Chains A and B, each alone.
Chain A
Amino acid sequence: MTDLPGYPSRRSFLKATAAGAALSGLALPASAQQVPQPVSLDDYQREYLNAEEWAFIMAATARLIPSEGDGPGAIEARVPVFIDRQLASDYGTADDWYMEGPHDASAEPARGWQTPLNPAEVYRQAIPAFNDWCTQAHGAVFAELSVEQQDAALTSLQNGDVALAPELREFWGILLGNTKEGYFADPQYGGNHGMQSWVYIGFPGARAAYREWPERHNVKYPLGPVSISGERA
C-alpha cells in the first residue's frame, strides 16, 4: 500500500494502535490523538455476551479479519465491542422482524430467515454447539485452538460441515456479516476504532460533500475520513 505524503506511515500507525491502550499517544499521528482511548478489550463491560461467548467472539473475529498484513484487524477495530452492543440492541432481539410462527427452520436458504430464534439467541445457542464440535474435531474449544485449527474450524462452519441444528443455520452468515459491519460501520457503534478500516481502504466516512469531484477523473480523493461525531483520521 502507498502512504500518503504528509501523513505518517499507515503501517506504523496501525501497529501502534494495535499495541493497545498502554502505548496511547506515543506513536500516533496528531490527528488521531483526538480519539479518546477506550478501555482495553479485557476490561470492557459486556452488554450481552457472557464470558464464553466473548472469548469465542474475540478469537473468531481475530481470524475472520486478522491483524497480520496491511490494514487493521477486527481486534484493532474493536469489532467484538460492536457485536456485543448490536446483540444487546433491537437488532439482536429482531424487533423489526416478523417472528410469528409457525416456523420452518429447515426451509431452503433461499426462503430467507426462518428460524424462530433472533440473532442474539442464535449466537447464544450456536457458540456452545460450535465449541462442542471444535472439542470433538480439534480437541479444545475454539478460543483455545491454534490459529491454523481455528481457520480450519471456521472453514468447516462456512461449508456447512459443522452439524448445527437447522435453527442455528444462520450463525455463520450473521457472524461474518456482523464482523464486517463492525469493521466498516461508523465508530459510534463501538467498532471501526479510529476509523482505521476507512483509512485503510480510502473511504472518507461521513464527509458526504464532493461537489467539485465528479469531473476530477482518475484522481484519487486525498482527504481522510470523518465520523458522525466529528472525529478525523
Chain B
Amino acid sequence: MARQEKKKDVVIVGLGWTGSIAGIELAQEGLDIVALERGHDQDTVPNFEYPQQIDELKYGVRLKMMQKPSQQTLTVRRNDGETALPYRSLGSFLPGNGVGGAGTHWNGLNWRPQPVELKLRSHVRDNWGEQIIPEGMNLRDYPISYDEMEPFFTQFEKVAGISGYAGNLNGEIREGGNPFEGWRSEDYPMPPLPTTYDASKFRDAAKAMGYHPFEAPAGIASTAYVNPYGMQMGPCNFCGFCERYGCYQYSKSSPQTSILGALKRMPNFEYRTKSEVLRVELAADGKTATGVTYWDEEAGEEVFQPADIVILSSYQLNNVHLMLLSGLGEAYNPLTGEGTLGKNYAYQMNGGVSMFFKEDNFNPFVGHGANGQVIDDFSISQNDFGAEGFIGGSYWRAGTFNGQPIRNMPLPKGTPSWGAGWKQGIGEWYGHAMSIGSHGSHMSYANNHLDLDPTYTDRHGRPLMRMTFNWQDNDLRMNQFMKRKMEPLAASMNPDIMQAGFKDIGAQYDVRPYQTTHNTGGHIMAENAREGAVNRYSQTFKAHNVFAMGAGNFVQNTQYNPTGLVGGLAYHTVHAIRTQYLSNPRPLV
C-alpha cells in the first residue's frame, strides 16, 4: 500500500531546465508545487567547488554526474530484426542525474532553430516539392512558428544568460553576427566572449572564402550579469571544464545558476530528491491524471502524490519511458504508422576535420564548452536540397573546449595507440591540434522509434525502454556534403597534417563512443492526437492536466544543440498554463 502525500496543485517530474522553469513560473501564480527528482541534490556550493570538480577521471571518464545505468537505462537495437541489448555502460549519450539534470553538465551552446526548421515540410514542399522527401522519412512541420516562439526564446536567453551578438535584430542584418539566424527582438543579454587562437584562424579562413563567421552563442557569462529572477553570474575564466562538470564559478547557465536559488526561496515550492516517479496515475475515466506514484529511496517505499497538474520534465528518454509505462498515449507502430508515443526519435549527425600545426600553440585547456567561431553558410536555410540530394544542414564551429588529456588527445592517423610511438606522439602533438566540427540536423524516420523492451527490466521491475535506431542515408549524405565543403576550408589554413572524420553511407550506429546527448522526439508536438502525443502547448492529448516538456517534443531534430528550443518551448508552455489553462482547465486549442 503506497504512502499518500498531501495533495499539491502541481507535481513536477524531474528538476532540470524545464522543471525549474515550470516551477518558478507557476510558483509565481501562487500555486502549491512539489518537484520530484530521481537523483541527488546538488548545487554550485558545495558540490561543484574548486578544486574537487576539476577531476577528469571522476566526472569526465567515470561519469559521476550522469544517470547510472544500474538505476535507469534502455536497450538498443539498430533495426526491427535485431534483438535489443541493454545500454549497460554509458557511451553514445549521457543523460544527467540529480538536481539540474543535463542542464548542469552541458556545454552551454544555446541556439534558436532557424524559422524554416520549424516549418520544414512546408519549406521542402514549397521549394522542391514533396517528391524529394525520401520514403520512410516522417518529415513534419512543428505546430508552432518562429514568430510565435520569438518572445519565449528571448525570455529563456535572458534567464539563462546568453553571450553573443545578434546578426538579425528586428530584420536588420548586422555585420559580425549570424546573418542566417531568425530575427531577434533584442540583442543577446551579454556581449560575446573573447576569441581563442584556433577560432581566430578558422574565422580568418572562413572570411577569406566568403563565409560569414560569428561568435558562438554561449550559455557562458562574458560579464557580470543579473537575470530577471535576480540570479547572478560571473564572467567565465576559460577553465576548460564545462561538459560533464558543474561550473564552479557561476559562469555557465544552469538551473542552479539561473533559477533554483530564487525558486528555493519561494514558500509555496518544495522539492524532494531521491524520488523516482514510477508512473502517472490516470483517473477512472482515463481523461485526466490524479497524480504520480514515486519511489522514495530513503524510506524504501512507494508514495502516491496527488496533484491537479502533472508536469513531465525529466530527460527526453525518461519522459517517453514514463509515458509509455503510464499509458499516456498509444505506442507507435512503425509498420502501421498508428500510435504516437515513441514516434520520431531523432539524434544528431556530426563530423569534423582535425588539423595539426607543428609550430602553433593552441593551449587546448584554455576554453569553454560553447567557445569558438561559427559559420552557418551550410545551414538548413542555405542548402539547395533538390540539387544536393538531402534534406538538412549543419553549423560549423572551431574553438577550444577542453584539453583534458585522457579524452582529448588528437593524434595524426598512423600514430600507434600504445608503446614508444604513442608516447612520442602525445609529446609532439598535444597542444598543436585544432578542429572544425560540423553539427548537423537529423530527420525523423519510421525506422527510428522508442517502445518497451520485451525482455529487460529495471530495478523496480518495469520494462526498460527499447530504442530502435540507425543512421539513415539522407543524413549521411548531408554529412558527406559537409566533408566535401569543409576539407578545402581546412586545407586553406595550411596545416601540417589534416584528417576528416565524417560518417559515410552505410555507417552503423555504434553505442560505444560518445557522440552527443541530443536525443529528441518520442512525445512529439502535433496538431492532433493522431499525429503526435502533445499539442503546441506540450499538453498531452491523452490527459489535459499532463504536460510533457523537453526535446521529446521535437518533431525532428534541428541542426542545432537543443537547449534553446527546449527552453523556449518550456516558457511557451508555462505561459499557456498561466494565461489559458488555470482559469479553465481543458484541452487547449
Contact A97 B365 (CB under 8 A): no
Contact B423 A66 (CB under 8 A): yes
**A100 contact from B51, B248, B456, Cβ within 8 A:** B456
Contact A176 B417 (CB under 8 A): yes
Contact B61 A217 (CB under 8 A): no
In the bound complex, how far is the Cα of B200 from the Cα of A214, in angstroms?
Answer: 10
Within 8 A of B (CB), among A161-180: 176, 179-180
Give chain B residues whose Cβ lies under 8 Å from the Cβ of A73. 423
- Cβ-based interface call for A35 (8 A): no
- Cβ-based interface call for A210 (8 A): yes
Contact A97 B70 (CB under 8 A): yes
Contact B406 A185 (CB under 8 A): yes
- Cβ-based interface call for A1 (8 A): yes
Give chain B residues whose Cβ lies under 8 Å from the Cβ of A184. 56, 405-406
Given A96-B68, A181-B406: A203 and B365 interface contact (C-beta under 8 Å): yes
- Cβ-based interface call for A4 (8 A): no
- Cβ-based interface call for B194 (8 A): yes
Give chain A residues whose Cβ lies under 8 Å from the Cβ of B200. 217
Give chain A residues whose Cβ lies under 8 Å from the Cβ of B76. 111-112
Contact B418 A64 (CB under 8 A): yes
Contact A210 B365 (CB under 8 A): yes
Give chain B residues whose Cβ lies under 8 Å from the Cβ of A114. 85-86, 88
Contact B237 A210 (CB under 8 A): yes
Contact A185 B417 (CB under 8 A): no
Interface residue stretch chosen among A47-55, A101-109, A130-138: A101-109
**B69 contact from A69, A96, A102, A154, Cβ within 8 A:** A96
Contact A201 B431 (CB under 8 A): yes
- Cβ-based interface call for B457 (8 A): yes
Contact B197 A218 (CB under 8 A): yes
Contact A217 B197 (CB under 8 A): yes
- Cβ-based interface call for A219 (8 A): yes
Given A64-B419, A206-B54: A201 and B405 interface contact (C-beta under 8 Å): yes
- Cβ-based interface call for B73 (8 A): yes
- Cβ-based interface call for A8 (8 A): no
In the bound complex, how far is the Cα of B88 from the Cα of A114, in angstroms?
Answer: 7
Of A98, A112, A210, most buried by chain B (CB within 10 Å of CB) is A98
In the bound complex, how far is the Cα of B194 from the Cα of A214, in angstroms?
Answer: 6
Contact A69 B424 (CB under 8 A): yes
Given A209-B237, A214-B193: A111 and B423 interface contact (C-beta under 8 Å): no
Contact A203 B418 (CB under 8 A): no
Contact B88 A180 (CB under 8 A): no
Closest A residue by C-beta to B363: A221
- Cβ-based interface call for B205 (8 A): no
Chain A nearest CB, measured from B84 CB (Å): 9
**B88 contact from A66, A113, A158, A209, Cβ within 8 A:** A113
Contact B512 A112 (CB under 8 A): yes
Give chain B residues whose Cβ lies under 8 Å from the Cβ of A219. 361, 363
Given A201-B405, A210-B239: A228 and B417 interface contact (C-beta under 8 Å): no
Contact A110 B89 (CB under 8 A): no
Given A112-B511, A154-B418: A221 and B423 interface contact (C-beta under 8 Å): no
Give chain B residues whose Cβ lies under 8 Å from the Cβ of A208. 50-51, 54, 237, 239-241, 248
Contact B457 A210 (CB under 8 A): no
Closest A residue by C-beta to B199: A214
- Cβ-based interface call for B202 (8 A): no
Give chain B residues whose Cβ lies under 8 Å from the Cβ of A205. 54
Contact A110 B511 (CB under 8 A): yes
Contact B241 A197 (CB under 8 A): no
Give chain B residues whose Cβ lies under 8 Å from the Cβ of A214. 193-196, 238, 366-367, 371
- Cβ-based interface call for A15 (8 A): no
Instruction: Give how many B residues have a beta carbon under 8 Å from the other chain's beta carbons.
Output: 65
Give chain B residues whose Cβ lies under 8 Å from the Cβ of A185. 56-57, 61, 406
In the bound complex, how far is the Cα of B406 from the Cα of A63, in angstroms?
Answer: 18
- Cβ-based interface call for A121 (8 A): no
Contact A198 B405 (CB under 8 A): yes
Contact A180 B238 (CB under 8 A): no
In the bound complex, how far is the Cα of B510 from the Cα of A96, in angstroms?
Answer: 21
Within 8 A of A (CB), among B402-450: 403-406, 417-420, 422-424, 426-427, 430-431
- Cβ-based interface call for B47 (8 A): no
- Cβ-based interface call for B509 (8 A): yes
Within 8 A of B (CB), among A42-89: 63-66, 68-71, 73
- Cβ-based interface call for B83 (8 A): yes
Contact B405 A197 (CB under 8 A): yes
Within 8 A of A (CB), among B42-76: 50-52, 54-57, 61-63, 68-70, 73, 76
- Cβ-based interface call for B378 (8 A): no
Contact B508 A70 (CB under 8 A): no
Within 8 A of B (CB), among A134-169: 151, 154, 158
Contact B87 A112 (CB under 8 A): yes
**B420 contact from A66, A91, A95, A176, Cβ within 8 A:** A66
Give chain B residues whose Cβ lies under 8 Å from the Cβ of A176. 417-418
Contact B238 A210 (CB under 8 A): yes
Contact B419 A151 (CB under 8 A): yes
Given A94-B89, A184-B406: A220 and B361 interface contact (C-beta under 8 Å): yes
Give chain B residues whose Cβ lies under 8 Å from the Cβ of A38. none
- Cβ-based interface call for A3 (8 A): no
Give chain B residues whose Cβ lies under 8 Å from the Cβ of A97. 68-70, 88-89
Contact B194 A111 (CB under 8 A): no
Chain A nearest CB, measured from B191 CB (Å): 14
Given A98-B86, A189-B57, A214-B238: A203 and B69 interface contact (C-beta under 8 Å): no
Complex A-B, nearest 8 residue pairs according to Cβ-Cβ distance, in ascending order: A208-B239, A201-B430, A98-B69, A185-B57, A110-B510, A217-B197, A206-B54, A96-B68
List, sorted by A's number, 19 A–B pairs whose CB atoms are closer than 8 Å: A63-B419, A65-B419, A66-B420, A69-B420, A97-B89, A111-B76, A181-B406, A185-B406, A186-B57, A201-B431, A202-B431, A203-B365, A203-B403, A203-B430, A208-B248, A214-B366, A215-B194, A217-B196, A218-B360
Residues of A within 8 A of B (CB): 1, 63-66, 68-71, 73, 91, 94-100, 102, 104, 107, 109-114, 151, 154, 158, 176, 179-181, 184-186, 189, 197-198, 200-206, 208-211, 213-215, 217-221, 226, 228, 230
Given contact pairs A102-B455, A218-B361, enumerate 12 new A-B contacts (beta carbons under 8 Å). Answer: A65-B423, A96-B62, A96-B69, A99-B88, A113-B89, A158-B418, A184-B405, A186-B57, A203-B403, A206-B50, A206-B55, A219-B363
Residues of B within 8 A of A (CB): 50-52, 54-57, 61-63, 68-70, 73, 76, 83, 85-89, 91, 193-197, 200, 235, 237-241, 248, 360-361, 363, 365-367, 371, 403-406, 417-420, 422-424, 426-427, 430-431, 455-457, 508-512
